[in-house]
Amino acid sequence: MRIRFFFFNTSFPTAFRNLQNLNISALCAQSQNETPSAKFSPPAYGMSCFTMTIGAISNLTGLGILVKSHTRFRRRAKAPFILLAGTLLITNLIGQVIPGAFALYLHLERHQRQRVTVQVSEPPQTFCNLFGACMVFFGLSPLLLGSAMAVERCIGITRPLLHATVVTMAHVRYTIALLTSVALLLAALPLLDVGSYVPQFPGTWCFLPVHGQLSTASTSLALVFSGLGVAALSLAMLCNVRSGMVLLLGRLATQNERPESVRHHRPAASLSGVHLLDVEMMIQLAVVTTVLCVTWCPFLISILTSVVHFHSASSGPVHHYERQLLLGLRLASWNQILDPWVYILLRRAILRRVCHLMKPDFFSLTRSSSCADSCRQDSGLRLN
């Protein structure tokens, strides 16, 4: 760029000062033209469309399978578990569509603004508040519902009589209402001026502030969110370990009590229909809890580390924590996609096919035993 200077009645110091100011302003304009383009490059929003579509289809398919299971097991012990699982899938479905649509809107808005002007403006505060509240609610609800499913199965396996009297459908509905109310209350507090929601890197989503200068309310809300999530995951893991140990010990005790001839020729005689139902639900619950831990732990831990660091230091490099939080969010978003495939793939029919491929004799004996138990239960119901 060629710059010409004309000196009319201007002294040399004044001209030199004008030249210096012109150079500084030119450099500042050049840096402003280069920095946003490098920092705010147009994001690839195709992945957001893909994950939102796949998540919606997966959750709808899982809901269809659970509806069929609910019609089959409406009067059995699986009904509370199916109600909790159905609520989890509905929450995942809504949480995939609404925040995904908000994120897609921000992606497109940023891309259009970058084509018109260099500077990228932040989303309106009202929109950011709504987006952040949805992120908190639909992020915390699956964690709380997953822990409730683990507690329900633990009571059903370890204390079946207590489960029959206490874990009723009405109590399960009250529990669902309580857990969703806790998540809704935490999400609504920033809307009542207790804390706030801010845009997060790279400007395509909003959440509680977790880095930079943090107020006491923002720090408390972020710690409560991550603390509730970690506590829910820990409770689910403990309940699953307890339930699995009880099922394993019961299976070993039944094997030892049978005579040697029966143990050798009929290894699956003790596998009743109720036992198979417990095993099916435990496998589904164990995989759901594993998916929750793998997908959500990085996001929750990154929130904890970021809040603790900036609350104590109140300053420092933010870029590392921003990228860490973004990677945790991307991993957590896959939980809503993977959850329904647990109920799609880990059904009893598919598990029987897998057992049939592995041990055909074991499968045939298990099926005959299960059919016999079902016939006995049906005949008992008719007599009653």
Q: What is the H or E stretch that residue 200 is in?
A: strand 198-200
Residue carrying the six token digits 């005579």: 259
What is each CA distance from 64 to 68, 344, 354, in whole angstroms?
7, 9, 22
> What average pLDDT does range 237-245 have in this prediction?
92
> What average pLDDT does range 336-359 have in this prediction?
76
What pLDDT is attached to residue 361? 54
Q: Is the pLDDT of residue 297 over 50?
A: yes
What pLDDT is attached to residue 78? 79
From the CB of residue 95, how many other CB atoms can be counted at a distance below 10 Å? 22
DSSP-assigned beta bridge partners for residue 205 = 200
Contact 89, 59 (CB under 8 A): yes
Q: Is the pLDDT of residue 44 over 50?
A: yes
In the three-class reduction of DSSP (H, G, I as helix; E, B as strand; rest coil), residue 197 is classed as coil
Query: Rounded to whole angstroms, how far apart are CA atoms 307 and 219?
Result: 6
| Cis amide bond preceding 42, omega within 30 | no
Let me know if domain 42-197+207-379 sits in CATH 1.20.1260.10: no
What is the token pair recorded at 102? 């908000």
Q: What is the H or E stretch that residue 199 is in?
A: strand 198-200
Contact 185, 296 (CB under 8 A): no
SS (H, E, C) 310-332: HHHHCCCCCHHHHHHHHHHHHHH
In this structure, what are the phi and psi dihedrals at residue 204, rounded to the nearest 5 degrees? -110, 10
What pLDDT is attached to residue 272? 53
In the three-class reduction of DSSP (H, G, I as helix; E, B as strand; rest coil), residue 205 is classed as strand
What pLDDT is attached to residue 348? 67
What pLDDT is attached to residue 314? 61
What pLDDT is attached to residue 363? 46
From the CB of residue 155, how many other CB atoms can be counted at a distance below 10 Å? 18
pLDDT band at 26 (very low <50, low <70, confident <90, very high): very low
pLDDT band at 317 (very low <50, low <70, confident <90, very high): confident
Contact 85, 333 (CB under 8 A): no
Task: Give the model confidence (pLDDT) of 201-236 as tens digits.
Answer: 888 899 999 988 889 999 999 999 999 999 999 999
What pLDDT is attached to residue 258? 60
In the three-class reduction of DSSP (H, G, I as helix; E, B as strand; rest coil), residue 226 is classed as helix
Query: Rounded to whole angstroms, how far apart are CA atoms 349 and 351?
Result: 5
What is the token pair recorded at 37? 């383009």
Task: Give the model confidence (pLDDT) of 95-122 as tens digits.
Answer: 999 999 999 888 888 777 766 665 556 7
Tell me the domain boundaries of the chain: 42-197+207-379
pLDDT band at 92 (very low <50, low <70, confident <90, very high): very high
Residue carrying the six token digits 């649509």: 101
Task: Kindly report each contact of residues 154-161 with a partner whose C-beta sits within 8 Å and lies 24 or more positions away, as own/partner.
Answer: 154/239, 154/240, 154/242, 154/243, 156/77, 156/80, 156/81, 156/278, 157/243, 157/246, 157/247, 157/278, 157/282, 158/242, 158/243, 158/246, 160/77
What pLDDT is attached to residue 29? 42
Q: Is the pLDDT of residue 372 over 80?
A: no
Global pTM?
A: 0.78
Q: Of how many residues is the chain composed?
A: 384
